[in-house]
Amino acid sequence: MRSREEMLDLIIDTATADSRIRAAYLEGSRSNPNVPQDIFQDYDVVYVVTETKSFREDKNWINRFGARLYMQYPEKSVYYQSDVNNCYGWLIQFLDGNRLDLHVRTLKNALSNLELYTTLVDKDSIMPEKQMLSDERYWVKKPTSEQFHCTCNEFWWCLNNVAKGLWREEIPYVMDMIDFQIRPMLGRLLKWKIGMENKFSVSVGKSAKYMNKYVSKKIYQRYLQTYSAAQVDAIWDAVFTMCDLFEEIAIQVSKKLNFSYDLIEADNSKGYLKHIRALPPDADTIY
């Protein structure tokens, strides 16, 4: 597996030698000093170019980066909105284990999409002098009372759909409802807890992947228990674990940030869940 130094040398040398490339920068986790380095980190690289057409039409120019295992052209996907004249990419998994997410961007496009980055090459002094070396833009933001109330209401309301789905044994529907409607509310609440305990100056990473760095082992294990096997009883158990964890954190956040918390709504939702769990499969009325 090529080292970081070997990969960066190759990326920089390619940019330096190609007159179409006017600048190059590294973005993503390898530009974030707060992210632990490991062997699976991608090289997220942008080449600032005079035009993208010649790069798009030459199918062999990326061969210089090494033997590929497989790759993806994200802008070619029918599910991806793209502006290929200003941005085009190659996501490459190399045979040696390295991965390169490479994009060519026109200057205007690049400057409008700058996030956390480190300049590697700048032939014309077109990159901003002050590089974005802080991940502050990703820090957990302090919620407003409205955001808190809407999050709690969404969590307790959507459990209604989980209950009816479990009674009907519509497992794919239930799992989607939990993972795409309910879990994000619990995750948001946990992020706020982490934020308020760290002066809202930390990032928990994409999909809260660094959550375990900031919460107790007990809370983290309880959160993991909210993931279940696709079986009715296992899902019910996980749902009640979610409810207990959500309410505990919601009360903490509401007290710390001086928000009100609707205990009646929460109690009614939990009571409804318990009632539906005990409802016979041949019931012809809910109450």
Query: How far apart (Å, rounded) are the C-alpha atoms in residues 276 and 130?
Result: 58
Per-residue pLDDT of the chain (287 residues; tens, 9 = 90+): 999 999 999 999 999 999 999 999 999 889 888 888 899 999 999 999 999 999 999 989 999 999 999 999 999 888 888 899 999 999 999 999 999 999 999 999 999 989 889 999 999 999 997 766 677 888 999 999 999 999 999 999 999 999 999 999 999 999 999 999 999 999 999 999 999 999 999 999 888 999 999 999 999 999 999 999 999 999 999 999 999 999 999 999 999 999 999 999 999 999 999 999 999 999 999 99
Tell me, yes or no, whether 180 and 148 share the same domain: yes
Distance CA 47, CA 240 (A): 49
pLDDT at 221: 97
Q: Any alpha helices (H) in 90-170, and if so which ranges? A: 107-112, 145-168
pLDDT of residue 132: 64
Q: Which phi and psi angles does 91 have, rounded to 5°?
A: -105, 115
Are residue 166 and residue 254 in the same domain, yes or no?
A: yes
Same domain, 148 and 55: no
Is 244 inside any structural domain? yes
Based on the fold, state whether residues 16 and 79 are members of the same structural domain: yes
The secondary structure of 207-276 as a DSSP string is GGTTGGGTS-HHHHHHHHTT---SSHHHHHHHHHHHHHHHHHHHHHHHHHHT----HHHHHHHHHHHHHH
Residue 62 is predicted with a pLDDT of: 95
Q: Give a yes or no: residue 286 inside a domain.
A: no
| Residue 59 confidence (pLDDT) | 86
Q: What is the pLDDT of residue 267?
A: 97
- 278-282 own/partner pairs: CB under 8 Å, 24+ apart: 279/167, 281/167
Tell me, what CATH number does 119's domain have? 3.30.460.10
Which tokens in the block code for residue 123? Answer: 């032939």
Supply the range of the domain harboring residue 177.
Answer: 139-278
Q: Is residue 195 in a domain?
A: yes
One domain, residues 120 and 15: yes
The CATH number of the domain holding residue 169 is: 1.20.120.330
β partners of residue 88: 104
147/251 same-domain check: yes
Token digits for 102?
């490479």
Specify whether 198 is located in the same domain as 154: yes
Say how far apart CA 13 and CA 255 lie, in whole Å: 55
Write down the pTM of the prediction. 0.84
How far from each other are the two terminal CA atoms of the chain, in whole angstroms? 64
Domain count, the chain: 2
**Separation CA 280–CA 168 (nearest Å):** 11
Residue 271 in domain:
yes
- CA torsion through residues 77, 110, 209, 233, sign: negative
Tell me the chain's radius of gyration from C-alpha atoms: 24
pLDDT value at residue 141? 96
